[in-house]
Amino acid sequence: MSDTPFGRTIQLFLVDGTPNGLRKVTIHGWTGLTFVATDSTFGALLSRSELDRTGIYILHGPDPQRPGGARAYIGSANSVVERIKQSAGQREFWETAIAVTTSDDDLSKGHVEYLEARLIEMAASAKRVELDNGTYPSGLRRRLPEADQANMEQFLLNLQVILPVIGLDLLKPQPKAAAQTSTPPEQRTFGEIKFEIRHKAGAAADAVEEDGEFIVLEGSLALKDSGFQANTYSNLRAALISQGVLQDNGENLYRFASPFSFNSPSAAAAVVLDRNANGRTEWKVKGTKRTYADWKIEQSEPALRIVVSDQVGP
């Protein structure tokens, strides 16, 4: 059997025809129904008849206690519409509400309690959000027949596909370069292409790219004050300082006390250099003058050569 990933068809339905309205998300061949709402469309979510069914829900938003961080609450209910309304009224942090049920109403109380416990377990393990749940129930305590457990694990796999598509990565495991901090950086990044920034003012940062994330490694040095006023990522810098990721290293430098995963090379470069920066040119392949952009082009060239050779006749 081939290990090549296969394509999936996700259907995103704009309920009222506008991009900012209530959204309904499904996967072809799966009975699961996922609704995505904001505060302004929460009323439309509550009016959906499908939510008067057994299911699970997630409330997600910025963490008021951790600048730059995210917070989430995960719940389950025999009637999603009643519980999600109650939970949302008890919490002020949320900006996005996700409700999940099925088109054939075939989830039992045991099923959704199992899903709830596993989602909490997975989110806690991923460490991308602070959970607002008071208790962390174990999935093993939700006794289900073996076949039902297998079906619920497949249900979770589909949710792991859908949630990032709608902008929630709370279940996505941290890259090993950011997560395995008990292992020295040179060991956990062995075999990876490393990038660096070296600036005459003292900034000296090392990074790797993994699974679409750009991770600046611990020990990297960032400028404390570049003198530039323009920095789109100044709030992110402030959050990293508040969280203790960036610590005073004396003179005009901060030190990364722990690795941090950025969503782009430019975000990472802006934090390191304390100014707006094009990460595609600021980051160099370590020990060379090749930019990140050069390296990206080199990665695409083999595929381009294959396409061209396939198109050229004898």
Counting Cβ atoms within 10 Å, is residue 37 exposed (0-12), middle (13-18) or buried (19+)?
Answer: buried
Question: What are the tens digits of pLDDT across the range 74-109?
Answer: 999 999 999 999 999 999 999 999 999 999 999 999
Q: What pLDDT score does 306 carry?
A: 47
SS3 304: helix
Which amino acid, residue 4? T
**What b-and-e string marks burial along 14-29, b requiring 16 or more CB atoms within 10 Å of the CB?**
ebeeeeeebbebbbee
- Check whether 314 has a pLDDT greater than 90: no
Share of the chain above pLDDT 90, in %: 69
Q: What pLDDT score does 138 carry?
A: 67
Work out the number of other CB atoms within 10 angstroms of the CB of residue 281: 14
Sign of the torsion angle spanned by Cα atoms 272, 278, 280, 282: negative
Q: Domain extents for the chain?
A: 10-165, 176-311
User: What are residue 38's DSSP bridge partners?
Assistant: 96
Please give the C-alpha separations between residue 36 and each of 92, 100, 206, 225, 305, in angstroms, as whole numbers.
Answer: 17, 9, 38, 41, 42
For the entire predicted model, the pTM comes to 0.80
- Check whether 56 has a pLDDT greater than 80: yes
- Check whether 210 has a pLDDT greater than 50: yes
